[in-house]
Structure 1
């Protein structure tokens, strides 16, 4: 029999009819029973195989017209496969099988099929039918109490899920607990894991969110140990973990689990779930600021939905992908056609709300290119008034209408539209829409009524800061700074134009340092926890998790809208609670950004705070004696061009070997100095700074990688006259550096299996200089040592190549011995007491612009508690880098100051003909907290 079944399964399906005719005499009820057994075995570990076997069972049963049970068994097998993929079909198949078993009075089969129907009907939201089947299954299982335990466990699993969906949480909890104990006692590992997942949902609904993660992770670990591995069930748990982490704002963990889930669903050929997870992944990538990765994920989701004829979801993925493309490149030639296609799809599906969402996106694009007539037509003639009942759409419509009127010079019309949007937002507790309306009013009134504009922008900033206070550390690190940075720059400019230089500088500090300082204070434990807000945040997380799952289960739009309303109301409560809390005596953080506070901590002769606003570069200078000035330095695009030309010069010099560089040394240096002098005249010469001393420089885009030490005034380099340190923003001086005990230095190097011999020499040289150092060279134990730090090392040195994609994300990192040490992991280190972290890798200073300030290494290490960093601005060859590092540490042992040691190292190299080119000696900078 087994050989016969194997032959049928392996045969191409087109040949089944002939095979069935040939072997008709050998087919029997037992053949179908064996096929069902095999199909059930592979349902969660090899979906495609179970699909094929269950269809083979039906084909065999059709050859046995005198055996009605054969067809019932085949329907049952096919229903078991369909229940996780096509629940409507599963219900039909189970009921057909049920009729046969009712005719012969097989109580056990009726109980089991009724139990299966609980799951299928619950999935479809047919709770009354599910309850009817539950009563029947329970009664029959009690009558045959001596039957296999697994039947009772599976019934309890399905019944607990039904009770949960019906909102009967305590009953669901009780049923799950009994079944968990039963499954554990009888070694039913897969069922135990699924019960724990159901229990996690129930606990979350009851507000016990903290218990959910452990249950989900434990379930996944149990299933990973099974043979064969239930890939589909693991994928569903990964999906649930992704939902959980997304709701609780652990975005990196969510993304990892969504990616694991998509692999599982793809492997099991579950098209709907695979495409849906791709959509979730794309949404998270967008939140993380990885727009190009998000675009690719949206494209994959669209293709997957389209191939499975899921038109509505395909259109949604198309629209979301178009919005991301607009952010990357509004001139993307594919954009108009994508939006037209999405609009046509929503129109044909008679989905006016989604169609209006598309019209808004088309109008945004039209406005960007000055196509005002097209934008007006989209917002009037094409607009469906039915969708105005959706508040956020109505507000977005008003905001876009206001921007159109503003672009057309109709300030009165724009004022009316923006004011209407503000009123609707405030009345509907749409906090972020309120913020957008306030910023729009600030922009509108900036020229004619600057005082009113300042007030509107201050209100918008207040919302930013209050809502940021509600974000988790994961949310702050992931996406806040890159999304909401339009109010503070304009506010700073208006304050400066009004002559309030110091106030404007404080606003600049809020802009450049707000999210970073929040993260540092959270990490250092300075931020208090308001229990009321914490409780509200947990309730919001529970509802978000539920909303994610309900959307996936195609819950009614009314139920989804109710969940969204509840989330919005709770967010408004948290916002107002935070506003009350912050304004209580002693709770304000305003002093952090006070210029006098910063001045009192300024240990330099001058702080130079660079800021880019509207393609213009400005520099605020705050001297030790309290003088505050602002200087306009010119176009950022011009400065960017200079830096790009300098980069090419540096690359040409760095490609040469020592002998070639010495032969052409003077010519190469002279060429570089031409550009370095132009940068000096732009960035330094116009500033009212002392003729020598110590400079603290806070760069901004596009000058984060500018070699300030090498700027040339015609006679000498900047570092020859000044001791230079850099800082993300002067505002960091307003918060204390965490104190803590420090231990021996920790030195970690990765030589790519010996391919980078200079790294080995560098690590050995540093180990000889730092006598007490704990050294890991190409050692996988290095990561364990990092994660298990109980005392911060006095010095933490990395020599390894960094990896950054097209856009920096928290998954970028340092290539160590066996895997990448990511930026995300840096945030979790405890470096309170670490005096210096050295990052000798390719462009480890990359990403400090406001859009990426929280996802680059130097920020991560500063947040973790490091006092200073030595970072590379661009890659140089391993040999000179290793030599520079050795000299730096020798100087550090004598001076104890990283800035002084670097300056001395640069001076040393300046007198070495092989290393005198600024591309080598100015490739590193000291960053401080």
Structure 2
């Protein structure tokens, strides 16, 4: 139960919970809201002015009647005022009075704007504007331009609004109308505020403020102070915001503008609301509410009721919230405030969404949507479309969600709402991520990222970075995942987002955890833990404690693990997190199970089971049923075990959980074998193995791969053992041949799993288009399959099942295409190992014998295969063979001339077949540690009683293979290939240290000694920590290289020494021109983490600058190296506690995939001078006498064996040949 990389969807709610932050603009544009016509006070208060300017008494009378109707403030009275004003307008036109015609048009336009009929308003304003220009009245022109700007602002067309305001501003400056200049500067600031450009908004507000003060316009001062407060509020500077609001408040009281006072009280309440001081917020809202009621401001009443509802919503009192919203809604409708109505409907939808009533939420969102369209508020139309998309996403209707998001996106772009665009891109990315389309998700996240930065939303930026990191983690690109998570961590720290910091720390810990870096993982988890405690997120705290417990479990510190898991359990119980409780109980049970305390384990499993059933986590339920069955099996209660296994199997099959199904079938087989029912056990085991081989490694969640792949090898070992037991009972039924085939399948699967662990992105040997299709299908399948297993909310189960079936069919069809068009890649990715009879026909010849080994917990096996015979032999258990093999290696590497343990090991491994070996070539397919010992140095089994040491190489040419099938694949790969035109390319004596004397001076600038490459660092630790090795200079390889190339004409060789022995040269396609590639450099055949096997080349350039120098497994598989021979002359095999021999296999198989016909590799690092002599003699035989590389190696090793200086096996036995012997 890990906190996954953050996939939170940001709810795109453009409307803030307090309307005033947006709606107050209506009172601010010209600082005289109530007057429909700018010069009307002169008309109604001074009849003499009318007499001088307009002799039409009838028009004057009509305007007075219209003004009285407007004062009533209802929608109907406003419409009546328009009708009367139209009559006055006609009179002015007949009289030819253009000034008053323009003024009346302006007044009618304002009333239409107030009624929300914006297009009609624009029509009247434009007619007015034309007349002002005709009469050259700059004051009227400026005011009309301002009103046109207001309408476009109301319509959400912010850039157009700015255009009109900017035309008005210089005119007002020319006529020295500082009052309206201040208002227009204010309005420009307001637009920039809406566009999210807060600093620009502040600049304009601060230009407006002193002008209003100069002209003594306290209303204007109050308004501007108020809106400056709003900007600081939006910037998160709450105290500054409060300061400006509190300056504004007494001015509203002074000018007796209770509407402004009420709004300011509301916004002060809003700040306290944001600060979490909900009761203080309610206090201010409740002061605001009666003020709005006193002045009959239904609009203000509706606003405040809405905000009170929002507080109750935040307090979790959803019903109270709905009560206040439902009081607010009819008031908005009464005053014809479609914007307020739409906003309240939207937020009622939000409450129902939070209550889980998704359909009801949709109903309210769909009521609000046409209202936003009617008032032409594209910003909020986009927001509502987005919210509808979010509901469909939660309902699992991903395509419908995408449809609404894609309607929302262009609207946000049209109105220049960068914040809205960023959020929508982000959430589209989240949907594609849910659908498994990782590349599309990355594309959208990467579009969202710069926009989040532009609008200064560092919290969202951190979230996007974290999600990008999550995708790369899921794709196995751990270095990129770390880079993005660390960027997210830095940003979250900058903005003080403790929850974000904790999430990033936890995710980084998870990456290191999956990489096996347990101490680093603990470090990050432990940094995360106190932050969760500070923010009070007990669920996340519990999850982190659980993660720490699991790390200690993996480290073998069971009691410490139990301590953390019990803390996690307590917290999950406190917060009522049944899923967390069930998980912790199950994990605690697992530890007691491993400690052998079966009754305790059973107790915890049985507590876990009903909780997992209650929360509907069927995948975890199936696993727990399986665990209970296993405990009953261990306790000897077989029938109970069968009952629980059957329940687990049924659930796994219903879920399509193939891995779980395979595990339970394996447990069935174990139980039935223990009852002596081998045939029934075999049936279950074959079903289990078939499922495993159908599974592709990429369909396993990243954090499960390591443990899952280790388990898979146990399945194969049990399968082989079962078949051999059946062979013992029925020696003529061919079970031993089936067991040999199973061994081949095990080797093929092992390599596939190593490649998955290494994250190898193999691009060679496959059509790029097919590879892209495969990746995309696997990503989708992986995501949807996990969603099904985990019962993830937001997915429709029926749709999910159908989608998985469709994708599975598409993948199967694609596999067929890949096998037809890219056989090289198909043999690796979709292996079909040879059967026993095919090995006899396709691999073995009359002069060759195959010896294939399989090491098992209870017993091991050996198969001898010739073209006419398959014989099998039971050997000692793995642990006994491993102990002898380790001693044998230690004796050899300590320069023992006659390794004494060799006799015992030879007796076990070779004596059973001694009388059949004759003098034939031996093909050795080892298993585990047997892949790391030199069979050539084992004493001849016929001479074990003699004192004279005679190693196996005396009578036999020896070739080792990753598997018997690998030679068939290799032959198919090189069939018809002509040898490369040039002879030998040699890499030797790379530069590893920053104090290497080959740097020209010691006064160079500080060298870059650290690499940012995660796998490179892991390789470094593999060599330096795990093996106790450092990157010492390999000076002797220079002589080795020069001796080899002395045998080759200058124009047919390539020598890469010193700084030139680098990674760039090694991956250069020109290397494909050489028949032999010799790499004399440090290497690691890592047997504990085979995916970290690799070669080390120069780590610096000539200037001392650090550079990537590791040739990793991924690089090797992507080389184009059609060589006859690749030689790795300075490798070191790391022998850990558990040896599987896979480091050697992965490295040599990589070079074979790249095209090498044979690979010579050293099993330990040998002294420079002896290696140089061996290599010089070896190459002399190949290049001057034309002998086969396998034959040449045997002759060279025999010469050293018979010499006085190099007789000890240490000097000659390290070098083994893998691959083609013909």
TM class by smaller structure: 0.7 to 0.9
Question: Which residue of structure 2 lines up, in the alignment, with residue 594 of structure 1?
Answer: 835
1:611 aligns with 2:902: no
Match of 1:371 among 597, 601, 606: 597
Shift of 1:454: 0.2
Counterpart Cα distance in 1 of 2:880 and 2:242: 73
The answer to whether the 8 Å contact 1:244/1:545 transfers is no
TM-score, normalised relative to structure 2: 0.57
The answer to whether the 8 Å contact 1:276/1:301 transfers is yes
1:504 aligns with 2:739: yes
Shift of 1:242: 3.4
The answer to whether the 8 Å contact 1:796/1:836 transfers is yes
Superimposed CA distance per residue, residues 676-695 of structure 1 (whole angstroms, 9 cap, x where no aligned partner): 33333333333344143322
Distance 1:207 1:693, change over 3 A: closer
Question: Which residue of structure 2 lines up, in the alignment, with residue 353 of structure 1?
Answer: 579
1:792 aligns with 2:1072: yes
Counterpart Cα distance in 2 of 1:480 and 1:905: 43
Counterpart Cα distance in 2 of 1:192 and 1:780: 49
1:445 aligns with 2:672: yes
The answer to whether the 8 Å contact 1:457/1:491 transfers is yes
Shift of 1:271: 3.6
Shifted more, 750-759 versus 483-492: the winner is: 750-759
The answer to whether the 8 Å contact 1:315/1:345 transfers is yes
Counterpart Cα distance in 2 of 1:906 and 1:259: 52
Counterpart Cα distance in 2 of 1:32 and 1:884: 88
Superimposed CA distance per residue, residues 380-402 of structure 1 (whole angstroms, 9 cap, x where no aligned partner): 46754673543223322322222
Paired residue total: 843
Question: Which residue of structure 2 lines up, in the alignment, with residue 727 of structure 1?
Answer: 961
Counterpart Cα distance in 2 of 1:876 and 1:235: 51
Shift of 1:197: 4.7
The answer to whether the 8 Å contact 2:1148/2:1159 transfers is yes
Question: Which residue of structure 2 lines up, in the alignment, with residue 487 of structure 1?
Answer: 715
Counterpart Cα distance in 2 of 1:219 and 1:793: 46
Counterpart Cα distance in 2 of 1:122 and 1:254: 39
Distance 1:721 1:78, change over 3 A: farther
Match of 1:627 among 846, 849, 869: 869
Shift of 1:463: 0.8
Superimposed CA distance per residue, residues 171-226 of structure 1 (whole angstroms, 9 cap, x where no aligned partner): 4335435766998xx9x8x9988776555446667887654445555776x699x9
Question: Which residue of structure 2 lines up, in the alignment, with residue 462 of structure 1?
Answer: 690
Superimposed CA distance per residue, residues 148-192 of structure 1 (whole angstroms, 9 cap, x where no aligned partner): xxxx7x996997587466544234335435766998xx9x8x998
Match of 1:752 among 982, 992, 997: 992
DSSP-derived class of the 2:1164 partner? coil
1:682 aligns with 2:908: yes
Counterpart Cα distance in 2 of 1:924 and 1:219: 55
Shift of 1:606: 1.8
Question: Which residue of structure 1 lines up, in the alignment, with residue 1082 of structure 2?
Answer: 801
Distance 1:318 1:544, change over 3 A: farther
Question: Which residue of structure 1 lines up, in the alignment, with residue 318 of structure 2?
Answer: none
Distance 1:55 1:471, change over 3 A: same
Distance 1:566 1:376, change over 3 A: same
DSSP-derived class of the 1:902 partner? helix
Shift of 1:443: 0.3
The answer to whether the 8 Å contact 2:1087/2:1133 transfers is no
Shift of 1:696: 1.5
Superimposed CA distance per residue, residues 739-771 of structure 1 (whole angstroms, 9 cap, x where no aligned partner): 367565554452225462615554555555554
Shifted more, 29-38 versus 490-499: the winner is: 29-38
Shift of 1:76: 9.7
Distance 1:728 1:803, change over 3 A: closer
Distance 1:337 1:181, change over 3 A: same
Shift of 1:505: 0.6
Unaligned 5+ segments in structure 1 are 1-27, 41-49, 144-151, 552-556, 654-667
The answer to whether the 8 Å contact 1:823/1:855 transfers is no
DSSP-derived class of the 1:334 partner? helix
Match of 1:874 among 1164, 1170, 1177: 1164
The structure with the largest alpha-carbon Rg is 2
Counterpart Cα distance in 2 of 1:160 and 1:328: 47
Superimposed CA distance per residue, residues 800-819 of structure 1 (whole angstroms, 9 cap, x where no aligned partner): 33468895264564333311
DSSP-derived class of the 2:1161 partner? strand
Question: Which residue of structure 2 lines up, in the alignment, with residue 341 of structure 1?
Answer: 567
Counterpart Cα distance in 2 of 1:862 and 1:254: 29
Shifted more, 255-264 versus 693-702: the winner is: 255-264
The answer to whether the 8 Å contact 1:743/1:792 transfers is no
1:400 aligns with 2:627: yes
1:712 aligns with 2:1002: no
1:831 aligns with 2:1073: no
Counterpart Cα distance in 2 of 1:274 and 1:905: 61
The answer to whether the 8 Å contact 2:1072/2:1122 transfers is yes
TM-score, normalised relative to structure 1: 0.73
The answer to whether the 8 Å contact 1:792/1:831 transfers is yes
Question: Which residue of structure 1 lines up, in the alignment, with residue 537 of structure 2?
Answer: 310
Shift of 1:344: 1.9
The answer to whether the 8 Å contact 1:845/1:872 transfers is no
Match of 1:843 among 1129, 1132, 1147: 1132
Counterpart Cα distance in 2 of 1:779 and 1:426: 57
Distance 1:416 1:141, change over 3 A: closer
Distance 1:431 1:527, change over 3 A: farther
The answer to whether the 8 Å contact 1:869/1:926 transfers is yes
Q: For 1:114-125, what aligned pairs fall within 5 Å after superposition?
A: none
Question: Which residue of structure 2 lines up, in the alignment, with residue 7 of structure 1?
Answer: none
DSSP-derived class of the 2:931 partner? coil
DSSP-derived class of the 1:874 partner? coil
Counterpart Cα distance in 2 of 1:883 and 1:411: 63
Question: Which residue of structure 1 lines up, in the alignment, with residue 929 of structure 2?
Answer: 702
Distance 1:558 1:205, change over 3 A: closer
Counterpart Cα distance in 2 of 1:531 and 1:241: 20
DSSP-derived class of the 2:833 partner? helix
Counterpart Cα distance in 2 of 1:607 and 1:912: 30
Distance 1:859 1:337, change over 3 A: farther
Match of 2:781 among 540, 546, 552: 540
Shift of 1:318: 3.0
Distance 1:313 1:352, change over 3 A: same
The answer to whether the 8 Å contact 1:815/1:821 transfers is yes
Q: CA RMSD in A?
A: 5.7
Counterpart Cα distance in 2 of 1:793 and 1:342: 60
Distance 1:877 1:377, change over 3 A: same
The answer to whether the 8 Å contact 1:704/1:849 transfers is no
The answer to whether the 8 Å contact 1:844/1:871 transfers is no
Counterpart Cα distance in 1 of 2:724 and 2:241: 79
Q: For 1:251-330, what aligned pairs fall within 5 Å after superposition?
A: 251-252=477-478, 255-256=481-482, 259-261=485-487, 263-264=489-490, 267-268=493-494, 270-281=497-508, 301-302=528-529, 305-306=532-533, 308-329=535-556
Superimposed CA distance per residue, residues 317-360 of structure 1 (whole angstroms, 9 cap, x where no aligned partner): 3334434544553x633122223222222222222332222222
Shift of 1:898: 3.5
Distance 1:277 1:207, change over 3 A: closer
Match of 2:1190 among 879, 899, 919: 899
The answer to whether the 8 Å contact 1:592/1:734 transfers is no
Question: Which residue of structure 2 lines up, in the alignment, with residue 514 of structure 1?
Answer: 749
The answer to whether the 8 Å contact 2:1086/2:1142 transfers is no
Shifted more, 249-258 versus 317-326: the winner is: 249-258
The answer to whether the 8 Å contact 1:510/1:731 transfers is no
1:639 aligns with 2:881: yes
Distance 1:451 1:902, change over 3 A: same
Superimposed CA distance per residue, residues 361-419 of structure 1 (whole angstroms, 9 cap, x where no aligned partner): 22222232332322233344675467354322332232222212211222222222222
Question: Which residue of structure 1 lines up, in the alignment, with residue 309 of structure 2?
Answer: none
Question: Which residue of structure 2 lines up, in the alignment, with residue 926 of structure 1?
Answer: 1217
Counterpart Cα distance in 1 of 2:440 and 2:689: 36
